[in-house]
Every structure is written in structure tokens, then in C-alpha cells.
Structure 1
Amino acid sequence: IPCETPNLIESKSFKLYLNSFNNTRFADASEVLARLRSDLSEATWRGSQVQGSVGVRLLEAEQFDAQQVHELDGLLLDRLDVECTRYTPAPELLRANHDEAPVNETLVSNLLKSNCLVTGQPDWGSVQIQYSGAQIEQEGLLQYLVSFRNHNEFHEQCVERIFMDIWSRCKPIKLAVYARYTRRGGLDINPLRTSHPGALPANVRTARQ
């Protein structure tokens, strides 16, 4: 979905939409693809003077065995032996060393956990943080990510919050925050927030998904 669209596809409504086809017959997969692209494009651009199209790719059953599982690339923060005592978002834990030369780093954690804003059910995720700028203190960043443990918010909102907290507290030159959440309701939700244009991450599932 292009970032310029006035609307996003809400995950629960998307699940209900897909289930509405349970008794529908299509001639072939290309007809399914065309219908999805048409309906999703209309929903995302609804109310806008500008119109566009979303991207849709179907993965058919005979292709399942060829799919790969791959962990997010980067230095794993979870290796650190730190005590975590904060369980609601604590951006004050974020610090960066502005007295040293800037770095380019990719940091990863599998300990992101928040709760659904509607149901309260747990949402577990892996998060990848890529940045250029003053080096972010890794211990504080890990404690910050763990601090989402009791927080109630949607996946997309959590990623936006993480991005803005790092951006305002650590002041990187460039920043991208990408999360892959465990599947609930049959849908992958993998939000990406970035400060700069770039290729989308490869859509490869992690083992936790």
C-alpha cells in the first residue's frame, strides 16, 4: 500500500473481508488477484482526489514448500544481560553518544511484546532498527523495547511510537523501524516506518511467525 493513501486496511476488517468469499466461486487465481486489487485499491484511496493501486501477490499452495524462514538481520540486543523493570513505554531509557563519530548500525530484538488495544490479547514481535548517527546505547534500547510489555496499542501504532521516540531522543540522521509480529487471525502484520526512501524489506517469515 503506497504511503500516500488517505486510508489503511485495518487488519480485522481485512480478515472479515477475506472470509466473506467463503462461498464465492472464481474462474482462476488471476480473477481472485484482480478482485482483491480492485477492492483494496478502492478502500485505500476512498475519498481522495488522487487514485492509485495497491500491490497484491498470491502465493499458491504448490509454492509453499519453497518458502524460506529467516531471522531479521542485525546485532541481537537480546544477548545483553540487563535488568528490565519498566513495563509501560519509557522513552527516557533511550540515550545516544553524540560525543563520538557517527555509526551505521542494525539492531534486532525478539522481545517486543504489547497487547491488542481492543481485545487485550498479547502481540509478540521481532523488531529491526536501522540507523545512521550517534551510537545508541544498546542496554537502554533493549530496556525500552521490553517496556512495551503491558502497553495496549495496535502493531502500527507501536512501531510509530518506537520510531518517534528514537528519532526525538537519539536524533539519528536516518532511521528505519521494522517489526514482524507473530500471526494472529491468519494475517501477518509487519509495519515499517522509515525516515528516507528505500527498498522494502524482503517479505520472509521469521521462525516465530
Structure 2
Amino acid sequence: MHPAAEDSPLGKASQYVSSYTPSLLFPIPRAAKWAELGLTASTLPYTGVDLWNCYELSWLLPSGKPVVAIGEFAIPADSPNIIESKSFKLYLNSLNQTVFASVDALQACLEADLSTAAGRPVGVRVRPLTEIEAEGLGVLPGLCVDGLDISVQDYSHPRPELLRCEPGRIVEESLHSHLLKSNCPVTSQPDWGSLAVTYKGPALDHASFLAYVVSFREHSDFHEQCVERIFLDLLQLLEPERLTVFARYVRRGGLDINPYRSTHETAFDNRRLARQ
């Protein structure tokens, strides 16, 4: 377990506060998990963002009439802190009986509070339901490897030694799997996700990639650290010209978390998948 998470509200009984309380946000430093992976804030080999989507965002107009919307939050991957997910939910619920004069006022409030917690500017979009409906569902890029026939015996920890490539053949391709699962390091609840990889480099053996994804099944870590571990393992194996790794996790408590990591600046599609 991350030492800071022991003091968070995650896994504990909590009173839901319905009036604005920014102190509910609980930041967890990334540095300890970066150190496990041999990284520091100054040696990160990726750029990226953690995209959070809130499906339970509500507040009051000056008339007292409630409003509902979807909140999108972009937390930079190099921010000093992640925001613990239950504290995030408790904070968002504290807006339920809070009056905001406009959507702009709400958005400014969210940006200020979340940026303070993360330690870097956090992007915020408050979006009407009609806009989300018009976008439709997203689809992961490239080939789905889930139909491959593999044999699995060990689910206890990530196994990068399973990964294989073909050094003589250079490809540019995208692969994805819906079989990513890990466990919350605090509550041990399952975290279900879909993983996508796009790269240019030595050809990755597809079956070995699927076996590697499945090896996370009983691993305990936060969403962000799982994606960073996968990114680093593929980076070390392939030494690719370009690499992007992201995961779309199933929501819990009205929030989904979608970490994106890449060797280069790229646009990230935040449309939800069918299982989200």
C-alpha cells in the first residue's frame, strides 16, 4: 500500500457532506511510486495526462434549481500528486447543495481546488449531457488480442519477462485488450480496465502481450501506476521510435480514471467505451 493512502478516506466509513468543502480532497504524492519504477520527477520518460470523468456532478442555480452535468478533469502525468479517488468523490458530492451563479463560476472553482491538490494546473470541462450523447462511444485503436489462445498459470504480479518481440521486423501498429484487471492497493476491490498500445518499433509478439496484460490480474496498485509500469516495460523491451499506452477503467462511485502516457505529445480521445 502507498504509505500516504493509509491516511486517506479510502476503505473507511465516511460522512457525505453536501456543502462545499474543498478540504475533503486528499493528495497522494507520486514520488514514492515513481521511485519503485526507478524514476524521479526530472527523469520521467513520458508525457501524458490522467483523464477523470465524473458522472455524478450536480449543483444549484441561484434559484435553487439543481443542475446535472458531466465533469472532465485532466491531471498532468508529471503533477506532484494524484488525488485519492474517494476523496475526489466526497469533494464533488459537497457541491450538491452549493449555489453557483454560472457554469463558468463552477468550473473556475473546480480548477482552483483540483490544481491546488494536484500541484499542477488541472484542466476542467463541465459538459451538458446532450453534448456527451452526441459524441457517441469511443472504440480502442487497432487489433484486439483477446481472442488469442494463451495458457496462464500465474496472476500474482506483473511479468514483463513474458513479453517477446521480433527485433528484425519494424512495425507501426496499435493493439488493445479488455482483459486488464488489477486490485485497489487499499481496499483490494477489483479495478477493471481496457488497455491500448500504439507504437513504432520492433514487432511485439501479440500472444506474449496478452499474457503480460493478464499477469496484472491480482496485482495491487493504483490505475496510474499500472499504466506507467506497462509503459516502462514496453519501452525497455522495444526501444521504440514512438510509444503510447493508455487504459480506460470502468467507473466506480461515478468516477472513471483513464491514464495516458506517451513518448511524444499527442491528442487523447476521451470518449467513453461501451463498458464505461
Normalized against structure 2, the TM-score is what? Answer: 0.69
Alignment of 1:4-43 (within 5 A): 4-43=78-117
Work out whether residues 94 and 170 of structure 1, in 8 Å CA contact, stay in contact via their aligned partners in 2: no
Q: Does 1:97 align with 2:166?
A: yes
Higher normalized strand content (fraction of residues): 2
In structure 2, C-alpha distance between the alignment counterparts of 1:133 and 1:62, rounded to whole Å: 41
Please list the CA deviations of residues 93-124 of structure 1 after superposition, one character each: whole Å capped at 9, or x if unmatched: 00111122x11010000000111111111111
Paired amino acid for 1:133: G
Work out whether residues 77 and 261 of structure 2, in 8 Å CA contact, stay in contact via their aligned partners in 1: no
Cα separation, partners in 2 of 1:70 and 1:21, compared to 1, 3 Å: same
Stretches (4+) displaced over 4 A:
none
SS in 1 for 2:256: coil
Paired amino acid for 2:168: D
In structure 1, C-alpha distance between the alignment counterparts of 2:132 and 2:166, rounded to whole Å: 45
In structure 2, C-alpha distance between the alignment counterparts of 1:114 and 1:4, rounded to whole Å: 23
Partner of 1:154: 222
In structure 1, C-alpha distance between the alignment counterparts of 2:216 and 2:77, rounded to whole Å: 26
Work out whether residues 86 and 143 of structure 1, in 8 Å CA contact, stay in contact via their aligned partners in 2: no
Shift of 1:42: 2.2
Cα separation, partners in 2 of 1:65 and 1:121, compared to 1, 3 Å: same
Shift of 1:4: 4.4
Q: Does 1:57 align with 2:131?
A: no
Shift of 1:62: 4.1
Any stretches of 5+ residues in structure 2 without a counterpart?
1-74
Shift of 1:29: 1.7
Paired amino acid for 1:19: N
Residues paired across the two proteins, number: 201
Any stretches of 5+ residues in structure 1 without a counterpart?
46-51
Shift of 1:92: 0.5
Paired amino acid for 2:263: S
In structure 1, C-alpha distance between the alignment counterparts of 2:190 and 2:83, rounded to whole Å: 21
Query: What is the identity percentage for the equivalent residue pairs of Structure 1 and Structure 2?
Result: 52
In structure 1, C-alpha distance between the alignment counterparts of 2:225 and 2:79, rounded to whole Å: 17
- The RMSD of aligned alpha carbons is 1.6
SS in 2 for 1:191: strand
SS in 2 for 1:189: strand
Partner of 1:206: 273
Partner of 1:134: 202
Which of 8-17 and 105-114 deviates more? 8-17
Normalized against structure 1, the TM-score is what? Answer: 0.89
In structure 2, C-alpha distance between the alignment counterparts of 1:109 and 1:53, rounded to whole Å: 31
Partner of 1:73: 141
Shift of 1:179: 0.2
